Structure 1
Amino acid sequence: MDRVLDFPSSADSAGELHPRLVELRSQDSLPRVLLADGQEAWLVTRHEDVRTVLNGRSFTRDVMGVRARRSGQEPGSARSVNMDGRPHTELRALVSRAFAVRRIEAMTPRIQSWTDDLLDAMEAEGPPADLVAHLAVPLPALAICELLGFPVEDRDTLSGWCDRITAIGDGAPDQKAWLELTSYIERQVPVKRAARGDGLAPDADILTRLVHAHDSDNALSLEELLSLTVVVLAGGLETTQTAISAGMLRLFRNPEQLDKLRADPDLVVPAVEELLRYQPVIDVNRVQIATEAVRLGGQQIREGDLVQVSINAANRDETVFPDSERCDITRGPNPHLAFGYGAHHCLGAALARLELHTAFSTLLRRFPNLRPAVPPESLSWRGGHVTLRLEELPVAW
């Protein structure tokens, strides 16, 4: 068995893909890595192998359920989005309508209006201004609060709780933050119940729909309602917040690509796909467990072994992406895995894309001379979380 390595974090390499991941991807067999919680896992870095794991035929994210069954115990009765098959499909169906492409497209004017208002405030403050605080953090928070049906004035508090529950390592996740967040959601339930009355409007927010499913259809328990709401909230916040700020920094670091986008704003669509491929956003993907013995990447994996995929490494696999170490906003096709793959493909992909298209297009239109106000190498990156985060991005124009 290969020696155990510490998991390489992009937070340790200024938001760049950790060079060790590139080295490990070229090995003949899978290495063993030590995760932040002290467990060991096989590290999967090649595009084809990562897709195999995410496809779910021999692996699952339901680690606790598999371990319970292997020890002869019955897993808890509550369903989780980490499960596969029918439980996952049933829970996903309860929120999927809110993230349908046509529903998200209808939000375009709202996303644009929020973006304009946020940039108005940034412009009024004058340079240098922190793009993280002025745009990257509040825009996704406004959008996901509206979709869920939470008061937008609570977005900072909600973001703070999500920041604490997505920490990894010793003492994580923060159970106090989890209890505070779920208690907040539980207090919203009777409010939604009273506002709903006897019917359910076609454009009802997500929490109202979940309350209706709990009350009228007996389709989910309160525990499931709370955990599903947390998943949607956290998924809609941190990843897009990082993608906006780190994506803009990536363009600053590649001025020839930024010039192309300024010259041809229609390139924003392939540019966003390339930034999602190239720029690490999620630092540590959810660990999986093998449900059967399987050979993967030249390595025999035993049933019950943990497997840690690196989507960031897979997105630089030169066998899939020619000239993979080059950021090219005209790249196509671009089968990146930033939103996952298979049954667990990110529900919020359409919303994230809309926010990213709007943010980059509006920024470059309104501030044609937008530039970093400090050397990029001086910027600070947060580690110890599922998602990378650029702590601040001072800009001038």
Structure 2
Amino acid sequence: MTANQPDLFPFPPGPLGEPPERHAELRDACPVTRVRMPSGDHAWFVSGYDEVQAALGDRRLSRAALREPGAPRVISGPDFSDNPFNLLNQEGPDHTRLRRLLTPAFTPRRAEALRTGVQRIADELIDEITSGPQPADLHHTYAAILPIHVICEMVGAPREDRTRLQEWTERLVSVTAFTPQERLRAREESAAYVATLVARRREEPGDDLLSTLIAARDDQDRLSEQELVWLGINLLVAGHDTTVGAITRGAFALLRHHDEFTRLAADPALVPAAVDELLRYAPPSDIGFIRVATEDLTIGSVEIARGEGVIPAMHAVGRDRRYTPDPDRLDLGRSDIRHLVFGFGSHYCPGAGVARMELEVAFGTLAARLPKLRLAVPAEDVEWIGGLLTLRPRSMPVEW
């Protein structure tokens, strides 16, 4: 790479579903580097732990500024960064106000209250898998199903709508896998769907998060109707897509390092630490969310000018050699695990506690119910799909 020939972002995934090999090279040699995005625009790609944490915590790097004329874009055409009502794209008082509305639904106490229901769903899925033929596709029968069933129950969406929700999600968060027209259509269709859910919940309120948000809208005037609809979309999309990626990629890593899976099956007390180690080693995504510098600033030793784009790759930092000895080794017994999968600063994932609980149930149930689970094909034969926010396989055949 030279100053005139920057890397092309996003980077292709590594072999065996591993993070891109370029991540390690950049972290070691150039943790803040210029890249060229699919739109043709340039940005600074940040891959070192310290540098990413600094970028995520710097309020001079703004998502809202992506809507300014001439702002750098990851992809050409409409995408979710254009939407001013999307929580991810807001900054300042509006962002704080909307996050406060969500906080009560994602407290540690609430996460634990949900655990029994998540466990029930996981067990139902394992029952379905074990009653069917072998091999089974662990991705499409478990990893891709569990999170969306959970978020549908939390939000108040019918479980039978999961296929449509999954299709919209793939298009909304795609980078290169779908056209701008397909992304825009998914945005319009998902907004119409959530508006219908809102109307239904207004008539028949329930014990779900969407009903709570409707009350905040109608009784207290704490958010607009468009904000209400887009909070619903945020919850349905962000509330399951990265968890699908985390379960899929984590399960594949465990089965590829089968001694570690056997270790987990023999010692259920390892489950909480195993979740963090799997997030570090096999994060759900390799793509960071771009921000725009609203002032001149410095990250690491690199000067970044006002108006330039910055991509803090929060999923790339778990293998930073400065903090993790032998970072390319999966070790469920690590005592000091560092990662930034849930972000840092004002945009730290509000659902992190629920996501951790869900991953504990997902991996713990696999280890407890299917202790002899193994890949039914060589790991090299599992094909991974790029161009989306989260990495996922076409299928993951397993036997038990």
| TM score, norm. by length of structure 2 | 0.91
Aligned to 2:24: 22
Contact 1:28 1:297 in 2 (8 A): no
**Does the 8 Å contact 1:79/1:88 carry over to 2?**
no
**Residue 164 of structure 1: SS of its match in structure 2?**
helix
Counterpart check, 1:303 vs 2:306:
yes
Deviation at 1:379, TM superposition (A): 0.8
> C-alpha separation between the residues in 2 aligned to 1:11 and 1:76?
28
Q: Deviations over 1:281-303 (max 9, x none)?
A: 12211101112111212211001
- For residues 65 and 227 of structure 2, the distance between their equivalents in structure 1, rounded to whole angstroms, comes to 18
Letter in 2 for 1:110: G
Name the aligned partner's letter for residue 278 of structure 2.
L
Instruction: Indicate the residue corresponding to 2:269 in structure 1.
Output: 266
2:76 corresponds to: none
Between the aligned partners of 2:310 and 2:15, the Cα distance in structure 1 is: 23
Q: Is the 8 Å Cα contact of residues 254 and 327 (structure 1) preserved in structure 2?
A: yes
**Pairing of 1:1-397 with structure 2 (within 5 A):** 1=3, 3-11=5-13, 13-28=15-30, 30-65=32-67, 67=69, 80-169=87-176, 171-172=179-180, 174-196=183-205, 204-397=207-400
**Alpha-carbon deviations, 1:239-271, whole Å to 9, x = none?**
111211211110122223223212212111111
Shift of 1:36: 2.7
The letter of the residue matching 1:53 is: A
Q: Partner letter of residue 214 of structure 1?
A: R
Shift of 1:368: 1.8
Using the TM superposition, give the Cα deviation of residue 51 of structure 1 relative to its aligned residue in structure 2, in angstroms.
0.4
Q: How far, CA to CA, are the matches of 2:185 and 2:85 in structure 1?
A: 21
Residue aligned with 2:241, SS: helix
Per the alignment, do residues 222 and 13 of structure 1 end up closer, same or farther by CA in structure 2, a change over 3 Å counting?
farther
Aligned-pair CA distance for 1:84:
2.1
Distance in 1 (CA, whole Å) between partners of 2:294 and 2:306 is 5
Partners of 2:294 and 2:234 lie apart in 1 by 24
Q: For residues 176 and 348 of structure 1, do their structure 2 counterparts lie closer, same or farther at Cα, with a shift above 3 Å needed?
A: same
C-alpha separation between the residues in 2 aligned to 1:28 and 1:381? 27
What are the Cα deviations for residues 105-143 of structure 1, in whole angstroms up to 9, with x where unaligned?
A: 111111111111111010000310011121111110111
How many Å apart are 1:3 and its aligned residue?
2.9
2-structure distance, mates of 1:13, 1:297: 30
Give the drift of 1:66.
5.0
* In 1, Cα distance between equivalents of 2:231 and 2:264: 38
Label 1:101 to 1:337 Cα distance change in 2 as closer, same or farther (>3 A): same
Corresponding residue number in structure 1 for 2:74: none
354-363 vs 119-128, which deviates more? 354-363
Residue identity over aligned pairs, in percent, reads 37
CA shift for structure 1 position 27? 2.2
1:268 and 1:360 in contact (8 A); partners too: yes
Quote the Cα distance in structure 2 between the aligned partners of 1:93 and 1:149: 20
Shift of 1:18: 1.3
1:15–1:280 CA contact under 8 A, matched in 2: no
- Matched pairs, number: 387
Q: Hey, what does 1:72 align to over in structure 2?
A: none
Listed as ranges, the gaps of 5+ residues in structure 1 are 70-74
Query: For 2:52 and 2:32, how far apart are their aligned partners in 1?
Result: 12
| 1:312 CA displacement | 3.1
Aligned to 1:177, the other structure's residue is in SS state helix
Mark the CA change 1:15 to 1:240 in structure 2 (over 3 Å): closer, same or farther: same
Query: Partner of 2:79 in structure 1?
Result: none
Look up the equivalent residue of 1:121 and give its one-letter code. E
8 Å CA contact 1:144–1:237 kept in 2: the answer is yes
* Paired AA for residue 34 in structure 2: R
Structure 2 letter corresponding to 1:126: P
Deviation at 1:77, TM superposition (A): 7.6
**2:46 is aligned with what amino acid?**
V
- 8 A contact 1:8–1:18 mirrored in 2: no
| SS of equivalent to 2:353 | helix
- Secondary structure in 2 matching 1:359: helix
Q: Following the alignment from structure 1 to structure 2, what is the Cα–Cα distance between the partners of residues 379 and 28?
A: 31
Whether the aligned pair in 1 keeps the contact of 2:246 and 2:284 (CA below 8 Å) is yes
Secondary structure in 2 aligned to 1:323?
A: coil
| TM-score, normalised via structure 1 length | 0.92
Tell me which amino acid in the other structure corresponds to 1:370. Answer: L
Q: 1:77 to 1:278 in 2, by over 3 A?
A: closer
Q: CA RMSD in A?
A: 2.2
